[in-house]
Amino acid sequence: MKNLTPRQYQILEALRDFLNKKGYPPTVRDIQRACGISSTSVVDYNLKVLERMGYLRRDREVSRGIDIGERERRTATVRVPVAGYIAAGEPIPVPTPDTWHLEASAEALEVAEEMIKGREEVFALKVKGTSMVDAYINDGDVVLMQAAATANDGDMVAAWLKKENEVTLKRIYREGGRIRLQPANIQMSPLYLDPDEVEVQGRVIGVLRWLD
């Protein structure tokens, strides 16, 4: 996304503040006052820029006719079930459609919408052990996954290596009749395997780490 100028950011902040506090959008002059701008035309000018950039929607000739996207107004957070642990020596516990909504008792995680970006069937796994360090993932980290049996070239996936009896997180590439698994750590060498030796268990969306 494009960078905002300080003024644009300032106006967006003022907009959100006003909306939060009052419950309805500000007028051009409300924004002008909040930002210490000396002319309404400056506000109008920047609002037009922000609209062109997609940060908001305006209705012309309408007082307070500013609409910040739904995304920003509502709870931008999603509950993600924690399906279990991910470790080197065992396949990851991918939730099935049956178990998917039975997660009431199980653990869940509150994740910002920004992390998920509207994806469905997302779950989380806690990393056990240090076998993922070549993906810069440490013991105790949380991995966000999307259930998927297939993946596109370049996707970071959880791959079950049947022969080695081991799960690993690597970027996947199809090359000729083989599959290349590329570690995030570029100093490490890729793995070349036959398609029937690898089973994609899910796509890796992101990584979360807490430090206390």
Chain residues binding DNA by CB under 7 A are: 5, 7, 27-30, 37-42, 44-46, 49, 58, 60-65
End-to-end CA distance of the chain: 32
Q: Which of 38, 48, 162, 170 is catalytic?
A: 170
Question: Is 131 noted as a catalytic residue in this protein?
Answer: yes
Restricting to residues 11-40, name those near a copy of itself by CB under 8 A: 13, 20, 22-25, 27
Give the binding range for a copy of itself (CB under 8 A) out of 42-50, 158-166, 172-180, 199-207.
Answer: 199-207
34 three-class SS = helix
Q: Is 113 in the site for a copy of itself (CB under 8 A)?
A: yes
Residue 44 belongs to what H/E stretch?
Answer: helix 40-52
What are the angstrom distances between the C-alpha of 21 and each of 14, 17, 25, 108, 156?
A: 10, 6, 10, 31, 42
Single-letter amino acid code for the residue at 169: L
Single-letter amino acid code for the residue at 36: G
Question: Is 39 noted as a catalytic residue in this protein?
Answer: no
Q: Is 211 in the site for a copy of itself (CB under 8 A)?
A: yes
* Binding partner at 40 among DNA, a copy of itself, none, C-beta below 5 to 8 Å by kind: DNA
Nearer to a copy of itself, 167 or 207 (CB): 207
CA distance 116 to 103: 19
Minimum CB separation of residue 123 from DNA in Å reads 24
Nearer to a copy of itself, 136 or 192 (CB): 136
Q: How many CA atoms lie within 13 A of 19 on its CB side?
A: 17
* Binding partner at 38 among a copy of itself, DNA, none, C-beta below 5 to 8 Å by kind: DNA
Minimum CB separation of residue 40 from DNA in Å reads 4
**190-94-204-185 Cα dihedral, nearest 10 degrees:** -30
* Binding partner at 152 among a copy of itself, DNA, none, C-beta below 5 to 8 Å by kind: none
Residue 46: exposure state from Cβ atoms within 10 A (0-12, 13-18, ≥19): buried
Single-letter amino acid code for the residue at 89: G
Binding site for a copy of itself (CB under 8 A): 3-6, 9-10, 13, 20, 22-25, 27, 57, 59, 63-71, 73-77, 101-103, 105-115, 133, 136-138, 141, 155-156, 184-185, 204-211
Query: Which residues are known to be catalytic?
Result: 131, 170
